[in-house]
A = this chain, B = another copy of it.
Amino acid sequence: MKRPTQIDVARLAGVSRATVSYVVNGLTEGPISITEETRQRVLHAINELGYQPDAMAQSLRSGTTNTIGLLIPDMHNPHYWQIASGVEQEAQSEGYDLLLISTSLDPDRELHSVRSLSRRRIDGLILVLTYENQVNDEIEQLVQRRKPLVMMNAGIGNVDGIDVVATSFQKGATQLMEYLLSLGHRCIGLIYGVAHDQMGWDRLTAYQAALQKASLPTEDNLIEYCGTTLEEGYQAAGRLLDRSPRVTALVVINDLLAIGALRAIAERGLRVPEDISIASFDDIALASYVNPPLTTVRMDAEELGRTSARLVFSRLVNPKLAPQNVHITGQLVIRSSTGPAPNH
């Protein structure tokens, strides 16, 4: 059973393909105008056959796909999920569909995916890259073809003429460190679980700078590197706690890992925040629901997604808009996972 085409409809209604097209697209008013009677005949035939215009053919003709692409590094992290959710909402409300690709933190796939997306005549593209340098050429091409393109988390190398939604925890991280220091913490661990060194740089440097400013040593064994999953956060926290029992506060690179860390803490019989404070970044929905609710630096990821999508659409409407450069910074949210340092 093949799907019916315009021709089938035209034949059944006894008109030409063009007429069908007019009726379907509601051009029956204005410059065209078609007899109400033929219009009804066509409409009837359409119903009869269950005809639906073929989106691919329309795309080929119009050069437009009604689709925007989103590339994220990892589907397991709620943070990216939330970004996707925001993008999806906005896309949906503009009548666009979302093509979602996760690179699973694989640089090759990142490149390959951008290629694949660009072959598809996607109307707009939002990239949350981790290995930017790899794809510069592709991006260059897309820009030259005037494709709406938004990069999130673009590092230092703000490519010319590209819309960027830059997120920075620098300020929030600094606030957080000051807050912890003011609570009397002097031995603060950092759990640094990232896909790529460059990610989370803002937090790492803020951490180091704050310690330095407070004339505290930035000991290497207070920093624990790990991967990006709950489990890895859990493991890393365990290692850190066992290695440096003196730590009174733990800064974790994101909420997900912090939740893993919470478990490691609980398993060692330590109470939060009486024995040890913990704080992290993102403020995913869960952050305020775990026990205790997490002190964190908020970055509304859904809003991030919505903002990126809006940038895409505004450029779609007006291609010669000057490159936008939205900068979003995190806000410290104090909850009950942090408290005064023990014996202070």
A positions within 8 Å CB-CB of B: 1-3, 50, 52-57, 59-60, 65, 67, 75-76, 78, 81, 84-85, 88-89, 92, 97-102, 104, 109, 115-116, 118-121, 141, 144-146, 230, 234, 259-260, 262-263, 266, 285-286, 289-291, 293
Given A1-B145, A75-B85, A260-B289, 19 more A-B residue pairs with CB atoms under 8 Å apart are A52-B118, A54-B121, A56-B59, A75-B88, A81-B81, A84-B100, A88-B102, A89-B104, A97-B99, A97-B101, A97-B116, A97-B120, A100-B100, A230-B286, A234-B289, A259-B286, A259-B289, A259-B290, A263-B291
Query: A84-B75, A121-B56 known; A98 and B101 CB under 8 Å?
Result: yes
In the bound complex, do residue A52 and residue B115 qualify as a contact, i.e. CB atoms below 8 Å apart?
Answer: yes
Query: A98-B99, A102-B92 known; A56 and B67 CB under 8 Å?
Result: no
Query: A97-B116, A262-B291 known; A56 and B65 CB under 8 Å?
Result: yes
Measured in the bound complex, the distance between the Cα atoms of B264 and A289 in whole Å is 9
Measured in the bound complex, the distance between the Cα atoms of B52 and A230 in whole Å is 40
Query: A56-B121, A146-B1, A230-B286 known; A81 and B75 CB under 8 Å?
Result: yes
Measured in the bound complex, the distance between the Cα atoms of B286 and A231 in whole Å is 10
Shortest A90–chain B CB gap in Å is 12
Q: Which B residues are CB-close (under 8 A) to A285?
A: 76, 230
Q: Which B residues are CB-close (under 8 A) to A92?
A: 101-102, 104, 109
Query: A56-B120, A81-B75 known; A144 and B100 CB under 8 Å?
Result: no
Shortest A70–chain B CB gap in Å is 9
- Tell me which of A3, A84, A141, A260 has the highest count of chain B C-beta atoms within 10 A of its own C-beta: A3
Q: Which B residues are CB-close (under 8 A) to A65?
A: 56
Q: Which B residues are CB-close (under 8 A) to A98?
A: 99-101
Q: Which B residues are CB-close (under 8 A) to A85?
A: 75-76, 102
Q: Which B residues are CB-close (under 8 A) to A81?
A: 75, 78, 81
Q: Which one of B2, B100, B118, B290 contacts A88 once the chains associate, using CB atoms below 8 Å?
A: B100
For A62, give the chain B residue with the smallest CB separation.
B56
Q: Which one of B53, B146, B234, B290 contacts A119 once the chains associate, using CB atoms below 8 Å?
A: B53
Q: Which B residues are CB-close (under 8 A) to A60?
A: 54, 56-57, 60
In the bound complex, do residue B3 and residue A145 qualify as a contact, i.e. CB atoms below 8 Å apart?
Answer: yes
Shortest A22–chain B CB gap in Å is 19
For A263, give the chain B residue with the smallest CB separation.
B289
For A69, give the chain B residue with the smallest CB separation.
B97
For A65, give the chain B residue with the smallest CB separation.
B56
Measured in the bound complex, the distance between the Cα atoms of B121 and A53 in whole Å is 10
Shortest A4–chain B CB gap in Å is 10
In the bound complex, do residue B52 and residue A119 qualify as a contact, i.e. CB atoms below 8 Å apart?
Answer: yes
For A290, give the chain B residue with the smallest CB separation.
B290
Measured in the bound complex, the distance between the Cα atoms of B60 and A290 in whole Å is 50
Q: Which B residues are CB-close (under 8 A) to A291?
A: 262-263, 266, 290-291
Q: Which B residues are CB-close (under 8 A) to A54?
A: 60, 119, 121
Q: Which one of B55, B56, B118, B145 contacts A2 once the chains associate, using CB atoms below 8 Å?
A: B145
